[in-house]
Structure 1
Amino acid sequence: MKTLKKRNLFILFFTAILTIMLLATGCNQKQINPKTREDFDAFTKEVFVDQVQSDSITLNYTLSKPEKYGIKNFTPTLGEYTLEENEENLVKYENYLKRLKDFDYDSLTKDQKLTYDILKESLSLNLNLGKYPLYSEILSPTIGFQAQLPVLYAEYNFYDKEDIDDYIKLLNCTDDYFKQIVAIEKEKSKQGLFMNDTAVKDIIDQCNTFIKDKKNNLLITVFNDKVSSFKGLTKDEIRNYKKANKDAVLTSVIPAYENLISELSKLKGTGKNAGGLCNFKNGKEYYKLLVQSETGSKKSISELTDLLEDTMNHNIAKMQAIVLVKPDALDAMEKVKYKLTDPKEIINYLKTAINKNYPALNDVNCTIKYVDKSLQDFLSPAFYLTPAIDNYADNSIYINKSEQFDQSTIFTTIAHEGYPGHLYQCVYFNEQNPAPIRSVLNFGGYTEGWATYVELDSYSLAGLDKSVASLLEKNMAATLCLYARVDIGVNYEGWTKKETGNFLLKVLNTDDDKTVNEFYKSVVEEPGNYLQYTIGYLEFNELRDKAKKQLGDRFVLKDFHEFLLKTGPAPFDVIDNRLDSWIDAQK
């Protein structure tokens, strides 16, 4: 009874204090204008509708029913890839930013303030990156536009008959768009900013592999299957669609790749830089912006370098400590066998296995598909295709069955792409009904960082020996840091291939030419790519450590994950600011 009385007295005392505070500040409190909130929603919707119509692929993958957003009679297009378009976009972003800053921030809701902060940073960064239009590279062997386009075409959504018509029209835009790419590459060559010969060869090899079997190209075979099973079409319509699609592939898509091969072959040898971005004039300045864009981190390059080296050394030391106590664990790690190897079984298992530390998610569909043979050599081991925001119950994960990838160790890859990785994070966020503008703002550091963060956590869910699971996790973390460190070394510090080899010899105790070449080539051809995985993962670790330190026994990992997932993709400084409020609420 004494405790109850004290508790009641505290409530009364707190209420009195709160009343006094309200009376003291009420006269000076700023009036909230509801119209501001309505105008802000209208503004962000306007930006969303404009951005989502930049090209047909963005529109198709973002909305299943664009007409609900007033988008009708959209002309199929791959967009524009010209210097003039870049200038127009910069003017547009400046206008958006000016209009955004005109809103009274204090009058916005909590969610609107979050959108405001995210949009402001995104627009500002795009404006800065837009000053270097010839430094970015749309072509690369694995994540380049020409490598990704076949999958994006193959998975183009047919929600109704009109989508099929639009798709065929879109295929016929391919040749013109590739010509715009070639024009930019020629300009890069003139300005001394063209890629090196190794990158040219790898891109040409990828293109040749894709178009090798013209009559049985995957865009023909996949389309035939899709249109045959599409409900409501007559036999004549199916036959006509198949012919129209085949004609478009043979007269626009494949010629576009053939022309790209021819033009790149002509440009081969004009690249003046066989190394990292920093070897170009203003390359360091561009790389710093690229890193910020890829990672969502505001840390300086030197801070990132220290973080990577410290984390790498920490994990290596932890691995050594485990092996000292349990020497057999190292051999077991190298010969590890996962209990589950079937992707569907892994997904079903992880759906429930993650319940302890991750918030519940409504059940959604997930179709496992396999990468076509013509793309296997150049695509990732697996990838998840983000669904439309108004149709996020249907999801797809692609598995690459190339011999270069060990399918017996696919457990953690499925965790990365599925549960609790990309699929889980994407669906959970969409369930919060966020502002549509959030869906067209790209934050690879958050999305890939989250998927990497949970992938490392999944080793503990795989049913492995604890020591082996810990070794695998720490080995993966150290390897990620190693790649990211080489990326910075080559692209910012100017490491040569020899200097890269010396660094790997120091860390890995190997100077194998194949290993050195793999590291060096990957970060030269696709700079910053590894950083979004690694730095994103490390930023999440820092957020978790901060919350654990301040909350102590009150820290609940599941609740922390819920906070991250509800906040959604954003720059990490924006998330960190919200974390302070979340921590206070937990206290």
Structure 2
Amino acid sequence: MSFKLSKKKAPLFIVCLLILTFLSGIAAGYFSSHGITENAKFEAFSREVFRSEVSGSALTLHYSLAHPEKQGISRKKASLGTVPTDMKNTYQICAQYEEKLKSFRYSHLSTENQLILDSMLLYYHTEKSLGDNYLLQEPLGPSLGIQAQLPVLLAEYAFYEEKDISDYLNLLTTIRSYFQSILRFEEKKSQAGFFMSDTTLDRILAQCAAFIENPDDNYMQDIFQQKLSACKKISPSEQQALILTHKKLMKTEVIPAYQELMTGLEALRGTGKNTRGLSFFKGGRAYYIYLLQSQTGTYVPVNQIEKRLSRQLSDEISTAGKMLRQNPELLTTLNQGISFKEMEPAQMLNCLRKKILSDFPALEDVSFELRTVHDSMKDYLSPAFYLTPPIDTGTPNVIYLNPAAGYQGLELFTTLAHEGFPGHLYQTVSFERENPSGIRSLLGTSGFAEGWATYVEPFAYQYAAAYINDSSATDLAQLSWLNRSINLCMYSLLDLEIHYNGWSQAEAASFLRAFGIEDSTVVSEIYQYILETPGNYLKYYWGYLSLLDLRTAEQNRLGQDFDLKDFHSRVLKIGGVQFPVLEKYIDR
């Protein structure tokens, strides 16, 4: 989930002019000999930007820092803020940041600070490039929209201090005003002809209805009580009073906020005329390119992405076909179901921790928690997801599993690798142990994060062969990965074709038919999901291919000196950046 830039003005740096040349010379010499260097000035600037941006939303602040006061950041009254209907102020801030970043003497900065500057400059330049297409943004969605993610973010709002409890309760009182700002944004979208289709509207309304269906038995109340019981400084009587307050707020603020959101959206029904991809909106193609750059972190032209995906799809199908011609029985086993050793999810994660040591650097003393998605949300959330901990604590590392997905055996094992080891959890903890600048936590792209977690999956399938009860375990594991890779590649190509080249559902159905997907209900669901989440599959698969191609380039550069574990170590140390920045610094 991404958060908007705050509306604060960029800090002004006031320099006192020294009148006497003699004194100016003395001052310059003093500062030079006492460490007021270009690095120090840049680090001061990046810290100030971090403090300003991280304070823009109470959720951003809380999920970034458990104890913001220790970072010199004072908390304001907790609020979800608003969704702006005008981006002029945001673009002005981006321009100010760009100008300041360009003023630093690049060659005088350390390699780490050069990397941060490059990433910041590219980030703010990309945000500014959104321009007049900002109305094509969609904060709502059946599974990835803010109204679906917000209950989980609030449920996971940790109580590190007593202040966090009051902040959390205050946040509940701001949901209504936040949703009202979303409705104003949606009304403006509607007036511009950019409102969602009725099909998407129905799916969002169904998600909202499921969340508020049982107001007296909402899972947020149970979780609030569980978190309170862990606060030893709060007496039983105080806990009971807080539970009653929370229950009242759920009924008077949270539930009504969702009801008002549903009513406001229903009033806009029928105003969304486009039932096809972004290219059918004015500015839609330019907006799609912005999504690829800002979310996927790639600046490769669309036609080159399309060619690379097509080549990969052809290669994967060729490899799978060769394997099946050599051993046709593999397909029978896949269709009947692979027999996998019985293990609990926690056991799988612990097995993965040991297995990855042959290919990835060791990571000691890492704790994790496994939780289950509540029944009321299971139809609208991802099969699994990892919640990153605050950068000043590094804990808790929570992985959610959605029982609605029904994952088990090989599928569960590789999913846990994606979310845990050596995926999201492993990458996040590894990078944070490098003690990076705070600003890095706000600059990472989904393309790097999801690309890394997808990149490690073929390794996980290799590791899984040890737990497959079949003499052809290695081939079955490889074929299973090829099947997943082919599917992700297909959907990524469809994403490009639907949103950039304007494919209809009939054209998408013809494409899928070539791969044996003929069920009209399945085709419709695939098409609708891609319509609602432009660029989402590319974050995973193009991110994966970007890392795979970078590895190949490093292998070609280093020849026999290439070491896989060392390559992974270098990527992990650089951390989440846009792919042009990663490519620039990988061999430094």
Whether TM exceeds 0.5 here: the answer is yes
CA distance in 1, matches of 2:529, 2:365: 37
Q: What's 2:180 paired with?
A: 179
CA distance in 2, matches of 1:505, 1:430: 45
Cα contact 2:173–2:253 (8 A) shared by 1: yes
Q: What's 1:244 paired with?
A: 245
SS in 2 for 1:225: helix
* RMSD, aligned α-carbons: 1.4
Deviations 1:290-325 (A, max 9, x none): 112221111111011111111111101100001111
SS in 2 for 1:338: coil
Residue 384 of structure 1 pairs with residue 389 of structure 2: no
Cα contact 1:445–1:535 (8 A) shared by 2: yes
- How far did 1:352 drift? 1.0
CA distance in 2, matches of 1:461, 1:214: 45
Deviations 1:384-425 (A, max 9, x none): 0010001114210000011x4333331000000000000000
Q: What's 1:22 paired with?
A: none
Residue 576 of structure 1 pairs with residue 583 of structure 2: yes
| TM-score, L = length of structure 2 | 0.91
- How far did 1:370 drift? 0.4
Q: What's 2:234 paired with?
A: 233
CA distance in 1, matches of 2:455, 2:36: 39
Q: What's 2:481 paired with?
A: 473
Q: What's 2:303 paired with?
A: 302
Residue 268 of structure 1 pairs with residue 269 of structure 2: yes
Q: What's 1:50 paired with?
A: 52
Cα contact 1:421–1:454 (8 A) shared by 2: yes
CA distance in 2, matches of 1:362, 1:54: 34
Of 508, 513, 520, which residue of structure 2 is paired with 1:505? 513
SS in 2 for 1:152: helix
Instruction: Give the aligned residue type for 2:123.
Output: S
SS in 1 for 2:400: strand
Instruction: Give the aligned residue type for 1:250.
Output: K
Q: What's 1:365 paired with?
A: 367
CA distance in 1, matches of 2:430, 2:166: 33
Instruction: Give the aligned residue type for 1:540.
Output: L
Moved more, 74-83 or 109-118: 74-83
CA distance in 2, matches of 1:51, 1:405: 39
CA distance in 2, matches of 1:423, 1:405: 22
Deviations 1:175-202 (A, max 9, x none): 0000000111111111100011111000
CA distance in 2, matches of 1:350, 1:314: 28
Aligned length: 548
Deviations 1:196-237 (A, max 9, x none): 111100000000001101011111111011112211111221
Q: Runs of 4+ in structure 1 displaced over 4 angstroms?
A: 31-34
CA distance in 2, matches of 1:46, 1:115: 14
- How far did 1:333 drift? 2.6
Cα contact 1:401–1:407 (8 A) shared by 2: no
- How far did 1:443 drift? 0.4
- Which consecutive unaligned segments of at least 5 residues does structure 2 have? 1-31
Cα contact 1:383–1:397 (8 A) shared by 2: yes
% identity of equivalent residues: 38
- How far did 1:34 drift? 5.0
Q: What's 2:501 paired with?
A: 493
The equivalences for 1:87-236 within 5 A come to: 87-236=88-237
| TM-score, L = length of structure 1 | 0.91
CA distance in 2, matches of 1:566, 1:52: 23
Q: What's 2:319 paired with?
A: 318
SS in 2 for 1:394: coil
CA distance in 2, matches of 1:341, 1:213: 34
CA distance in 2, matches of 1:149, 1:442: 21
Cα contact 2:69–2:75 (8 A) shared by 1: no
The equivalences for 1:423-442 within 5 A come to: 423-442=425-444
Cα contact 1:456–1:476 (8 A) shared by 2: no
Instruction: Give the aligned residue type for 2:539.
Output: Q
Cα contact 2:82–2:182 (8 A) shared by 1: no
- Which consecutive unaligned segments of at least 5 residues does structure 1 have? 1-30, 583-587
Cα contact 2:158–2:227 (8 A) shared by 1: no
Deviations 1:274-294 (A, max 9, x none): 000000011111111111222
CA distance in 2, matches of 1:341, 1:524: 37
Structure 1 pair 340–57 and aligned structure 2 pair: CA distance change class (3 A): farther
CA distance in 2, matches of 1:102, 1:546: 33
Instruction: Give the aligned residue type for 2:164.
Output: D
CA distance in 1, matches of 2:291, 2:223: 36
Cα contact 1:457–1:473 (8 A) shared by 2: no
SS in 2 for 1:51: helix
Cα contact 2:229–2:239 (8 A) shared by 1: yes
Cα contact 1:366–1:396 (8 A) shared by 2: yes
Q: What's 1:287 paired with?
A: 288
CA distance in 2, matches of 1:67, 1:264: 39
Residue 544 of structure 1 pairs with residue 551 of structure 2: yes
Deviations 1:57-76 (A, max 9, x none): 11111101100121124210
CA distance in 1, matches of 2:339, 2:101: 53
Cα contact 1:393–1:427 (8 A) shared by 2: no
- How far did 1:153 drift? 0.2
